[in-house]
Structure formats: structure tokens, C-alpha cells
Amino acid sequence: MIIHQAGSRASIRANPDYFTGDVWQDPILSAEAPARLQALSVHFAPGARTAWHTHPLGQTLHVTQGAGLICLRREAPQVIRAGDTVWIPPNVEHWHGAGPQTTMTHIAMQEAMDGGAATWLEQVSDADYGG
């Protein structure tokens, strides 16, 4: 058993290759094999968002604060709010982030396969973000 005490691990600024805007990540769990679960609390400033991406085994998002957007490729962005839980199936291209004028925090849960939990694609354009 491993207990990670609250506040014992530093927040990490999200990689700008995969995110637009001010985004911070707080690690929750990166399980050792044979487990595959990875979980992060992700904090998005207004207008901040992920790049387009997929997950080999899908992804679950649980919004803990604020309101934001989630979008599947070739669809209009949808609003997500604190308390909402979203399941994105495996290999479905999507992005998620804060609303234009609101912050949003979610817990992102995904499983790694062959050493990777995400395939990152291009940044989300302002036109795609605006819907």
C-alpha cells in the first residue's frame, strides 16, 4: 500500500505541446504494472484546453469545480459542469477544457497500454474551441 499525503507532491504546469493556456496538473495516481490506471486533477484557466487527443483504453472525466467544454471530432462542443462525469470511448478524438470565461477542474482517469495512455494530435484551433 502507498499513501500519498495531501500536498506532498508538487503541482505540474501542463506541457504546452499538449495544452493551450494556463493549465496545472496535480498527480493522483500512476499505478505500477500490472495495474494501468493513471489519474490527475487538472485545473484549467478560462479559455485553456487540451490539444486533440485519444486514449487507447478510453478516458473518464469527473468535473469537480467550475464549468467547461468537451468536444468530439466533427461535433459541436458541449458544456460540462461540476458534478458531471464523462466517458470517452477508446481511440475517439476529443478535447476538453475550461469555458471562455470560467475556470474548470476535472479528474482525468485513463489506463495506459504499451506504456502510453494518450496519443496527442494537433492543437485545438480558436474556431474549433468557439464551436
- Tell me the pLDDT tens digit for each residue of 105-121: 999 999 999 889 999 99
Ordered by start, the domain boundaries in the chain are 12-130
Q: Residue 128 — pLDDT band, cuts 50, 70, 90?
A: very high
Residue found by looking up cell 490527475 in the block: 40
pLDDT at 75: 96
Residues 20, 44: Cα–Cα separation, whole Å: 9
Residues 108, 29: Cα–Cα separation, whole Å: 10
Distances in Å between the Cα of 107 and the Cα atoms of 10, 65, 97, 110 are 16, 10, 12, 10
* Per-chain mean pLDDT for the chain: 96
CATH of 12-130, one of 2.60.120.10, 1.10.238.10, 3.40.640.10, 2.60.40.1480: 2.60.120.10
Residues 46, 48: Cα–Cα separation, whole Å: 6
Backbone angles phi, psi at 110, to 5 degrees: -150, 160
- Tell me the pLDDT tens digit for each residue of 32-60: 888 899 999 999 999 999 999 999 999 99
Cβ atoms within 10 Å, residue 54: 18
Q: Residue 97 — pLDDT band, cuts 50, 70, 90?
A: very high
The per-type count for the chain, helices as H runs and strands as E runs, is 1, 12
